[in-house]
Amino acid sequence: MKSEKISELTTKRLSVYLRCLQTLDRNGIHTISSRSMADQFHLNSAQIRKDLAYFGEFGVRGVGYQVSHLAQHLTKILGLNQEHRVIICGAGNLGRALCDYAGFNTEGFRIVALFDQDPKKIGGTSRSGVPVHDIKKLKQIVRREGVDIVVITVPADAAQKVVDLVCETGVKAILNFAPVRLRVNTNVKLKTVDLKVSLESLSYYLSNPSLPAAVNPPE
């Protein structure tokens, strides 16, 4: 396996391929060509071949990919063969919703705690029973629970302070939903999901209706 940096876009596509392969596997499909996989899931077959070739020779000429074998490899490449323990800082609407959302608190990722500074929220739980702790206990609980991913759902003006606290705990991966640009240590991976930016790109499309709409790359 090559060890150079692969792009953020490639890892997103690997996630999409894995989901497609899992669907095929559930449907009892054992082998599939890149062409057929592309057709079925609205993907680009040349891109599939290129992305997967990067990680080694998975396909067999004239036969295609072995679905479960390739799914296992992608699972390993994406680090999903072990469970990640996740906490959410910010027990507001978005934080609690993510905590209880099946598309998020799901196989491979276990949300073990919420954190907040609001005394009214501390001591409570989400609907699904995830406890809300005092943000002051962050370091202690991160260590006790073996947390390796932190999700930030606090308001924009509180986000940097919380991210600084998270960096002190030694956690190396942060998913930020606060609409603000944050500084982290160089050895910490910060990913920002800005929901308003997504709405704005739709707004851009609506005010430029001459643009082709059908191109919907995996994101």
Binding residues among 95-114 for its own copies as defined by CB under 8 A: 96-98, 100-104, 106, 108-109
| Least Å from the CB of residue 169 to its own copies | 15
Q: Answer yes or no whether residue 213 interacts with its own copies by CB under 8 A.
A: yes
Binding residue for its own copies, selected from 78, 125, 141, 170, defined by CB under 8 A: 78
Q: Answer yes or no whether residue 85 interacts with its own copies by CB under 8 A.
A: no
Residues pairing with 122 in the sheet:
none
Binding residue for its own copies, selected from 24, 67, 86, 167, defined by CB under 8 A: 86
Residue placing its CB nearer to its own copies in the complex, 80 or 141: 80
Total Cβ atoms within 10 A of residue 42: 10
User: Which structure tokens are listed for 79?
Assistant: 């680090």
Total Cβ atoms within 10 A of residue 173: 16
With the C-alpha atoms ordered 142, 95, 200, 16, is the resulting torsion angle positive or negative?
Answer: positive
Q: Answer yes or no whether residue 210 interacts with its own copies by CB under 8 A.
A: yes
Q: Answer yes or no whether residue 129 interacts with its own copies by CB under 8 A.
A: no
Residue placing its CB nearer to its own copies in the complex, 61 or 186: 186
| Least Å from the CB of residue 154 to its own copies | 11
Angstrom CA distances, 114 to 4, 44, 134, 212, stand at 35, 39, 9, 42
**Rule CB under 8 A: which of 170-209 touch its own copies?**
172-175, 177-179, 181, 183-184, 186-209
With the C-alpha atoms ordered 169, 118, 160, 201, is the resulting torsion angle positive or negative?
Answer: positive
| Least Å from the CB of residue 37 to its own copies | 11
Residues pairing with 131 in the sheet:
125
Q: Answer yes or no whether residue 87 interacts with its own copies by CB under 8 A.
A: no
Q: Answer yes or no whether residue 212 interacts with its own copies by CB under 8 A.
A: yes
Angstrom CA distances, 123 to 63, 96, 98, stand at 56, 14, 18
Q: Answer yes or no whether residue 29 interacts with its own copies by CB under 8 A.
A: no
Total Cβ atoms within 10 A of residue 20: 21
Burial zone of 208 (CB within 10 Å; 0-12 exposed, 13-18 middle, 19+ buried): exposed
| Least Å from the CB of residue 27 to its own copies | 13
CA atoms within 13 A on the CB side of 103: 2
Binding residue for its own copies, selected from 49, 84, 110, 139, defined by CB under 8 A: 84
| Least Å from the CB of residue 150 to its own copies | 10
**Rule CB under 8 A: which of 143-162 touch its own copies?**
148-149, 155-156
Do 150 and 133 touch, CB atoms closer than 8 A?
A: no
